[in-house]
Each structure stands twice: as C-alpha cells, then as structure tokens.
Homo-oligomer: A and B are copies of this chain.
C-alpha cells in the first residue's frame, strides 16, 4: 500500500517553495520537528505511532518520469529544478521516539535534519502518516484500558476514511493493545491476527436462523462466532444451545466458540444470553458484543457486570470519532545552524533542535519530562533516538509485535491519573530547560 503512494501526495506549496530554495541556492541543512500543540479534551496522553511508514516513505522517496512531466505541465517550475527533482533522494537524518511511546503537548516525536528542500518537501506526507496512526493508537489505548483484558477486535474498515485509513487503523490499534482485526488485508500486510463473525444478511438469506447457523458451522472449520440478534436474541441463544446439543462439532471441524450480540441493551441481553447458555450446558461459549461501541460504553458495560468476553469496536475507533484530528505540526526549528521561531498569535513554537528527557520515580511510574536542546543533558532517559542517517535507516526498526510489547510496558508506567478515560488534563509535568528558555528570550529580543 505505502509503496504505491506517489510522491505527489503533497501540498503544492512544498514544490513551489522547493523551487525558490533551489533557485536561490538555499541548500543548508534545516531541522523540522513534529509535535502536538495541545491534546484533545478527551485525551490524557498520546501514543506515538507510524514511524515505520515514515521511514519507508523517506527511503523510497523518488519522482517518476510521469510525475516530472505532470509538474512540467503546470508551468511553475524551471527545467533545472525539474532535473533536480528527477534525481532527488532523501539524504537526511531522522531522530524519533519509538513507536508505542506515550507523549504530551510540545514534545517532539520526530526530528528531521536535511537540506531544507528535502526536509520541507516531505512535510505533508510525514504529517499525514504520523498524525493518523498516532491518532488511532491514542484512541485505541482508551478501549484497551476500558476493556480490562477482554479480547478486542478492530471492526472499523467499512467506515474508515478510505483504504489506507482502514489498514493503518488496524495496525495502530494492534500496536496499542487490540488483539485482532477483521480487515483481511491488514492481516496480510502486517501479520495482525484476523477475527470474523457473520452478518445479519447471512442469517436473513437462509430460510431460518437455525439453518443459517448450521450452514455456517458446516463450512467453517475451527472456532466460529454466531450472530444471534437478527430476530430475537434470547431465541437465538436457545437455538445455539440446541444446535450444540445436537452435535458440538461439524464434519468440517466447526464449533461454536462464541455468540455475538450487536443491538439492544447489551448488558441486559448478555445477562439473558449467559443464563440461557449456562443452563443448557454451554458455559464455555463466550459472548462478543458489538454495535457502536467505544471506550465509554465498554467501561459502562463492565461496570454493570455485563458477562462479555470480547468487544468488536468499529467506527469510533477507526475515525477517532470524539477527536478526529490532533493539532500536530511539523515546524522549522533551525536553518543553517541558526534556531528559528514562529511568533504568530497562538502558534508560538520552541526553537532549536530538541530532546525530551523522561524521569521515573521510585515506584517505576513516570515522574516528569524535560524539554531541552539536543546538546543538553537532563535527568532521566532521552526519548528521541536516531533512526535514519544519510537517508538510510540506522538499523532495523522493532517488529510490530515488539512495538506492541514496548507500548504495553510504557503504558504500565503511566501514573494512574493518565490511565483514566474521563476528560480533564492530568497534571503530568513537562519542564522546559533553562537554556531553551534563554534561547527563546534571546530570539524574541532580536526581532525578525
């Protein structure tokens, strides 16, 4: 998927600015940093995600002849510049926090240093890639926290915003702790475990619900999930139990692992279904809930004691429905060795190449971060690590399962207040180093 995305997936101004940099001979290195200005009201922490795709994008960056010809047709660019683009590769270096790292406002999670033309040109897609997966990983974490160990499946493909959103949402959700996805291609591309059930249409297409259940098991080897709410949920559960009494395993090896409820009062229905199954000797059959679920509904269902073993989460996850975008920016912090600072109202930035240092307390929980210049040292552990040098990755990036484990370990270190779902910013301390404050004062005094 990513390999097929054209380099022209960018904003026009990246190219017209590149033309001016090229024409004016501005080839000095620039550092751009990616950070978020503030967290959405409904997020207490964000999870960095998408670095794998950013590195692949930067390594593969190249213009095809057809793309150069399209640009020539716009009559905005000189032949010399187009020749330069035709040979262009990304030659810069990248520092980044590992995928799965929790982070907060103002903290850079990616720092790109390259000749300004290159570092600027990649802005739009780098933002597009890191923004979306970070958005979804941060949203997914909330369901993971709410579900308290229950099995979580991404069901969101159909209402994700296009193909890439569906695939990357599956990846980001898995990294943040989901157990599986229903999206087959995400299983193929990223090795994520696949999980599926059946649709109401399958039940409706058969002459009866019982026939639909039997037919599904006949042709589905291994554990299956039967959808029991097409007509009447309690009756659906009774039919499953009767089917199991008649023969627990089909000739193909299919058996009922679970039933799914997709509508109605899920707490009440699941209790009813649990009782029906237990009374009829089907205590091992699990109950899966779905239908407009999000972290709040999952938490409420479990608070209510609903006997649910698994949740399918779709639209709210894949669109991050309560906060469909993050206020991320990719800003010039240094050019030709000099720090730079934007001073537009409400959009002040911290200048210079930076590092984030993270301290842990005696209990192993995070105790606070320090935002510092890259050549400073502060207490704790530096979060940004070099991942690319001279346009090549510095080593293998962690596999997706390794990044998932890393995320789980980092989330376990979050103070309890940061693991809550409720609105309200938790007071996680992010300090700014004295040298960085001094640099800001000096730049502001100098004017533009």
* Residues of A participating in the B interface, judged by any CB pair closer than 8 Å: 1, 4-6, 8-17, 19-24, 26, 30, 32, 67, 70-71, 74-76, 78, 116, 120, 123-125, 127-128, 131-132, 135, 155, 157-169, 182-185, 187-188, 194-202, 204-205, 208-209, 215-216, 218-222, 229-232, 262-264, 315, 319-321, 324-326, 328, 331-332, 335, 340-347, 447-448
Contact = CB atoms under 8 A, between A and B. Distances in A.
A257 B94 CA distance: 37
Given A204-B341, A205-B340, A448-B209, A75 B158 contact: no
A128 B157 contact: yes
B23 A219 contact: yes
A158 B264 contact: no
A351 to B, nearest CB: 9
B229 A11 contact: no
B343 A230 contact: yes
Nearest to A347: B263
B8 A185 contact: yes
B204 A11 contact: no
A445 to B, nearest CB: 14
B198 A17 contact: yes
B162 A205 contact: no
Contacts of A124: 157-158
Contact of A320 (B76, B157, B163, B324): B324
Contacts of A71: 184
A199 B325 contact: no
B205 A76 contact: no
A166 B132 CA distance: 12
Contact of A13 (B15, B165, B198): B198
A24 B71 CA distance: 54
